[in-house]
Amino acid sequence: MASRPPFETHFSSILETPFRDQLQKGGVFQVVNHGIHKEVFEMMFCEDKKLFDRSFNEKVREKFSDLSKNCYRWGNPNATSPAQYSFSEAFHITLAEISSYSNDGNNFRTTIAMYVQEIARVAQMICEILGNQVNVNSKYFENIYALQNSFLRLNKYHPCVFGSQMFGLVPHTDTSFITILSQDQIGGLELKKNGQWIGVKPYSEALTVNIGDMFQALSNGVYQSVRHRVIPPANVERFSIAFFVCPYHETEIEFSFREYKEQSERDVKETGDKVGLSRFLI
């Protein structure tokens, strides 16, 4: 593979107004010239597709050859109505798992480890820049690659046989510090801004970044996590890969990340929705 393209080091200057104002209202931005080689994305999406191409039985099987148990889901098992159902399938793979992969020549594992190393490097830079702007202690992002709760979510969206009655992914905010998304060119991601849903246009090789609940809490509400959803594609499949940068479970923000995650999971089970940060504010 050719050497890494140069990273645009003046990235931080664009974080000044009015860009920063946008983030404060809950925003998503796209990063180009991030230094990740095109081939890394091509290889990752190729392995991603092969994984989803396995039979349903294989994917739900208890002991899946490359991955740990229970990392696969189809739809939303807690949904109590079609409006709460996500018409998509996904694999969750934590950094803890990825960093334990041995270099045994397995294509899937080598590719995923390489991808995560690259994406963590970009995530580190973005978190530090965003954190500096709002005086967040850089200790939270000292070594993102060591944050074992961070995870990749591989998403596959299918053309929805129920028309527009169902979401590809139901409206939600991410629990992470930030989320970095690679997506193909199909589109379907939307975010809520001023009460309206707005489509996020995919750009080739751009990374889409959004603020999650934990950065909203860390920045004391200066940055806002953004509510987003995915509309299922009309007649093709869509793939995306999200990297969620998450703190250690015991990290104290004003609550611990574990408390936040467990409460969110209980809320989703009981109400079909994640109540979110508002529950933790005094």
Ligand X SMILES: O=C(O)CCC(=O)C(=O)O
Choose between 34 and 153: whose C-beta lies nearer to ligand X. 153
- Number of Cβ within 10 Å of residue 19's Cβ equals 13
- Number of Cβ within 10 Å of residue 267's Cβ equals 16
Strands (E), the chain: 28-31, 72-74, 88-94, 151-157, 169-172, 178-183, 189-193, 196-199, 207-211, 228-230, 238-245
Given 54, 73, 109, 238, which residue is catalytic? 238
In whole angstroms, the minimum distance from the beta carbon of 180 to ligand X comes to 11
**DSSP per residue over 96-122, as a string?**
HHHTT---SS-HHHHHHHHHHHHHHHH
Choose between 59 and 238: whose C-beta lies nearer to ligand X. 238
Contacts with Fe ion, residue ranges (CB under 5 A): 174
Cα separation, 180 vs 211, whole angstroms? 9
Is 238 an active-site residue? yes
In whole angstroms, the minimum distance from the beta carbon of 172 to Fe ion comes to 6
Which residue in the set 125, 169, 231, 277 belongs to the binding site for ligand X (CB under 6 A)? Answer: 169
213 binding ligand X? (CB under 6 A): no
In whole angstroms, the minimum distance from the beta carbon of 26 to ligand X comes to 14
Secondary structure (3-state) at 147:
coil
Choose between 174 and 184: whose C-beta lies nearer to Fe ion. 174
In whole angstroms, the minimum distance from the beta carbon of 240 to ligand X comes to 3
In 3D space, the residue among 212, 51, 38 whose CA is nearest the CA of residue 123 turns out to be 212
Point out which span in 26-34, 113-121, 181-189, 217-225 binds ligand X (CB under 6 A): 181-189
All residues at 6 or more sequence positions from 148 whose CB lies less than 8 Å from its CB, including other chains? 94, 95, 96, 99, 248
Which residue in the set 183, 216, 224, 225 belongs to the binding site for ligand X (CB under 6 A)? Answer: 183
Residues of this chain that bind ligand X (CB under 6 A): 153, 155, 169, 174, 181, 183, 189, 228, 230, 240, 242
